[in-house]
Structure 1
Amino acid sequence: MSFNIQIVNEISIKSQGNFSEKMLIEQVFIDSRIEVENGLFVPIVGERFDGHSFLETAIKQGAIASLWEEGKELPEGLDENFPIFYVNSTLKALEQLAKKYLRQVGPKVIGVTGSNGKTSTKDIIDAVLSTTFKTHKTAGNYNNHIGLPLTILAMPNDCEVAILEMGMNNFGEISFLSKIAEPDIAIITNIGESHIEQLGSRAGISKAKLEIIDGLREDGILIIDGDEPLLKLNGNIKTVNCGYDDHNNFKIFDVNQTADVTSFIINQQFQFTLRLLGKHNIKNSTYAIAAGKYLGLNEHTIQIGLDNCVLTGMRMEKVQGQNGATIINDAYNSSPTSMKAAIETIKQLDGFNKRILVLGDMYELGKDEHALHRSVATVISKPITHLFTIGARGKWIAEALLEHNNDKIEISSYSTKEELTEKLLPLLDNGSIVLIKASRGMKLETIAKNLYS
């Protein structure tokens, strides 16, 4: 990326130092520990730190200019020629700068939100659209009020499609992000239980996710999970429904899954294959197919993109384990909805005589967390053979299954990862498949790594 320093001058109250109108900014950064070239430093004020304290370090790392909150003292001995651009709020200025740069580059913008599957959907869309367009996508989980502007400001000047993930914890946050991004295509992957503690109910979650239409361009489209009743809309927004129910515009038929490949048919016309596990990833792929069709791609090109798709780590990530076992590392995050979907996937895969679940605590589920954990047990049945749980909340899943364990599944609960791993390792062989899933805070990838070959 690069833009003229004049854009920075336009959003500032006043400036000092020497700078040429031809000066180019090639990186925007907030972390003074990062080495950059021709960087604009944006000192963010947080609860426990103030980025203004690190200007001198940022200069050593490659900053050639800095935003500066008016009223803050500059460091003693700062070169008087160093360009400083004063603003009322560096965070607000970062957002303004992102919006200006986005309009300057002018790509098609795809905004992606949802309780689960945002990152996977973003990755699949990028794989499909990068067959034809120069794309740029959110890196990692840079999907909040700071991460989204930084993602935009890292966009190459020749970007044709920007795929921006939008996360949230409360009402108003998606609306804010959508108004910065002004998407041409807005996608809501699903409505789950994540953040129900803050939003009160699934209906509240749906309301918060639907804020993505607040910045949607007048001629834009909304692509949604058409199987979710809470996403029914009234109004003039062009909506594309994806899912399994009959009314969907992109209806999924004839799903066939193995441990290596998934096939499905859209609208009884076109068959697609996917080297990703999980019924939920079929729907995530359908959002990408719908976006691709909207942007003019044909089915053959879309399939090439699906063939080349690689998801961000720890999302139904298949890895070979010890003694030839198959490990499904889905430890990045979890909700009851996504946990149940992952379990159903393990049940549907052929070729395994031991199907082992390693499930842990799920967070931010509010007052119903006990019932929501117990609800996971309703989908744990044959051909599942073993359930291992970790954590106090994970144990609730085991307790619920013990009450109706008609399939005689072996159930055990642990308080430490080390003890669980010790009991699990002897079960691993080439007929075993292990699913590992919990909320991010459980860090169950440490179990997964101990099972790898």
Structure 2
Amino acid sequence: MNLLIKILAVLSRIYCWRYDPKIIAITGNIGKTSTKDAIVTVLSSRFRVRGPEKNYNNEIGVPLTILGWHNSAKNIFGWFIQLLRLPLSLMLDSGVDILVLEMGADHPGDIDYLTKLARPDIGVLTAIGDLPVHAEFFASTDELVREKSLLVQRTDPLGHVFLNADDPKVCSMSALAKAAVHLVGEAAGAEFKVENIELRAHNNFPEGLSYKIRYRGLQIPIRLYGSLSRPQVLASAFAFAIGVIFRLNPIEIVERLKKYQLPPGRLKIIKGQNDSVILDDSYNAAPQAVLSALETLLSLPGRHIAVLGDMKELGAMSDMAHRRVGEKAKDCDLLFCVGANARIIAAAAVKNGLAEDRVFYFNASSEVSPALLSLLEAQDVVLVKGAQSMRMERVVKAIMAEPERASELLPRQNPEWLRIP
């Protein structure tokens, strides 16, 4: 595997040397993929843009994105065949203008390696929060923050760094940047300031959000369809700001953002059975993202139902993170918990005031739907969220009004995932 990583790194550097694309690198504990998708949506109106089609954010995935290779190899022999084809594909490739890369930090040294592989012209740091994800292999939260901050430090001095104005840990990184710094968010000092976030609904069914972004004396209205969360607002605001840097007309950017579609499993609005509304956030679960999703759920009209699975890769912070989620979930009308760690969520919710007969516990996501469907009423809003390994999309499929659209709307619907018991 080390040899494969070295080969991919060499080929990636050759690609960047040959075509010299602008590199936009995104990191953060939540919102990387949504921000990447929003940026690609905006910039692809004028430029040839490539971003990862899958969750490619590590030492293998980033080179695959750079090379435009969506790997389907199943074994060493498959990798060997693919690598033999790469030189030819490099010669035939006409190149792209912009690469939009996600850079994850699962282990110390990840951002260091990835930013040396592909030095950012534009760096974006979405959010870190009080309860970071992927902290299992870091000695402390501060060590994880330092690793993430390398993206800010490594961005080209002639480039731009975009930081979340609402996250103190992220804002503090502005002092480390050699590039021009732009703050994006709701905070008073933001250069691209988000204001007046409002829910949009049609016939009592939520359709999305509207907000205004204030920039250089202008107040520009933006509509997001199929999105109800503040992280999605921030993702689109980052895309707006980067579009401005690339000299796109603000009106053109607004029109492009109307076409921005959430990836499956990222707080996507889906019609549920019994005229209910599903907030499908089943792709994965970082603590900060779960808390944000619960805030979104509790802000909507209707009865609030949360179906929450275990969160993973939290190391020593796991118990505390699950307790924090339970303290927030106490305000739900019904709480369904799935997995061993989710027992901590249930216990914390009850301890903080949620009646025990409003809390239900299950070992696996496949067990949830009979009990949930028996209690589901019109206008209920159901949040479904958990780590990838908890397979919480199975709950969504069981309660959605149109299960025949699962392959279109839900994550992990390819044959490889569906074969996993």
TM normalised by structure 1 equals 0.76
Identify the residue that residue 177 of structure 1 maps to in structure 2: 114
Identify the residue that residue 248 of structure 1 maps to in structure 2: 190
Query: Is 1:369 aligned with 2:283?
Result: no
Identify the residue that residue 77 of structure 1 maps to in structure 2: none
- Could you give the per-residue CA deviations for residues 157-177 of structure 1, whole angstroms, max 9, x where no partner exists? 242221111112112111211
User: Is contact 1:131-1:304 (8 Å) kept?
Assistant: no
Alignment partner for residue 428 of structure 1, among 376, 390, 412? 376
Identify the residue that residue 260 of structure 1 maps to in structure 2: 207
Q: Highest relative contact order (Cα 8 Å, sep 6+), 1 or 2?
A: 2
Residue type of the alignment partner of 2:233: I
Query: Is 1:269 aligned with 2:219?
Result: yes
The verdict on how the C-alpha distance between 1:407 and 1:220 changes in structure 2, with shifts beyond 3 A counting, is farther
Cα drift, residue 139 of structure 1 = 1.6
User: What value does the CA root-mean-square deviation take over the aligned residues?
Assistant: 2.0
User: Is contact 1:191-1:205 (8 Å) kept?
Assistant: no
The 3-state SS of whatever aligns with 1:290 is helix
Residue type of the alignment partner of 1:380: A
Residue type of the alignment partner of 1:449: K
Identify the residue that residue 125 of structure 1 maps to in structure 2: 39
Cα drift, residue 107 of structure 1 = 2.0
Cα drift, residue 137 of structure 1 = 0.6
Q: In structure 2, how many angstroms separate the alpha carbons of the residues matched to 1:375 and 1:337?
A: 10
Q: In structure 2, how many angstroms separate the alpha carbons of the residues matched to 1:248 and 1:202?
A: 25
The verdict on how the C-alpha distance between 1:91 and 1:418 changes in structure 2, with shifts beyond 3 A counting, is closer
Residue type of the alignment partner of 2:390: M
User: Is contact 2:326-2:344 (8 Å) kept?
Assistant: no
The 3-state SS of whatever aligns with 2:341 is helix
Identify the residue that residue 322 of structure 1 maps to in structure 2: 273
User: Is contact 2:199-2:209 (8 Å) kept?
Assistant: yes
Alignment partner for residue 125 of structure 2, among 188, 191, 197? 188
Residue type of the alignment partner of 1:177: L
The 3-state SS of whatever aligns with 1:345 is helix
The 3-state SS of whatever aligns with 1:318 is strand
Q: In structure 1, how many angstroms separate the alpha carbons of the residues matched to 2:44 and 2:212?
A: 22
The verdict on how the C-alpha distance between 1:417 and 1:91 changes in structure 2, with shifts beyond 3 A counting, is closer
Q: In structure 2, how many angstroms separate the alpha carbons of the residues matched to 1:91 and 1:404?
A: 48
Q: In structure 2, how many angstroms separate the alpha carbons of the residues matched to 1:212 and 1:250?
A: 21
The 3-state SS of whatever aligns with 1:196 is coil
Q: In structure 2, how many angstroms separate the alpha carbons of the residues matched to 1:97 and 1:244?
A: 41
Residue type of the alignment partner of 2:192: F
The 3-state SS of whatever aligns with 2:108 is coil
Q: In structure 2, how many angstroms separate the alpha carbons of the residues matched to 1:416 and 1:145?
A: 32
Identify the residue that residue 135 of structure 1 maps to in structure 2: 49
Query: 1:340-355 alignment to 2 at 5 Å?
Result: 340-350=291-301, 352=302, 354-355=303-304
Cα drift, residue 331 of structure 1 = 1.1
Q: In structure 2, how many angstroms separate the alpha carbons of the residues matched to 1:168 and 1:269?
A: 36
Q: In structure 2, how many angstroms separate the alpha carbons of the residues matched to 1:409 and 1:282?
A: 36
Cα drift, residue 201 of structure 1 = 3.0
Q: In structure 2, how many angstroms separate the alpha carbons of the residues matched to 1:180 and 1:399?
A: 45
Q: In structure 2, how many angstroms separate the alpha carbons of the residues matched to 1:183 and 1:409?
A: 52
Query: Is 1:291 aligned with 2:246?
Result: no
Alignment partner for residue 310 of structure 1, among 261, 274, 281? 261
The 3-state SS of whatever aligns with 1:254 is strand
Q: In structure 1, how many angstroms separate the alpha carbons of the residues matched to 2:166 and 2:305?
A: 29
Cα drift, residue 218 of structure 1 = 2.6
Q: In structure 2, how many angstroms separate the alpha carbons of the residues matched to 1:387 and 1:196?
A: 26
Query: 1:22-171 alignment to 2 at 5 Å?
Result: 45=1, 89-154=3-68, 157-171=94-108
Normalized per residue, the structure richer in helix is 2
- Could you give the per-residue CA deviations for residues 341-399 of structure 1, whole angstroms, max 9, x where no partner exists? 0011111123x2x22100011112122311211111333355x3111111121121111
Cα drift, residue 428 of structure 1 = 2.8
Query: Is 1:209 aligned with 2:138?
Result: no
TM normalised by structure 2 equals 0.82
The 3-state SS of whatever aligns with 1:138 is coil
For structure 1, the residue ranges without an aligned partner over 5 or more in a row are 1-44, 47-88
Residue type of the alignment partner of 2:349: L
For structure 2, the residue ranges without an aligned partner over 5 or more in a row are 70-92, 201-205, 402-421
Structure 1 stretches (4+) deviating beyond 4 angstroms? 406-409
User: Is contact 1:179-1:214 (8 Å) kept?
Assistant: no
Identify the residue that residue 404 of structure 2 maps to in structure 1: none
Residue type of the alignment partner of 2:211: F
Identify the residue that residue 414 of structure 1 maps to in structure 2: 362
User: Is contact 1:186-1:213 (8 Å) kept?
Assistant: yes
Residue type of the alignment partner of 1:117: G
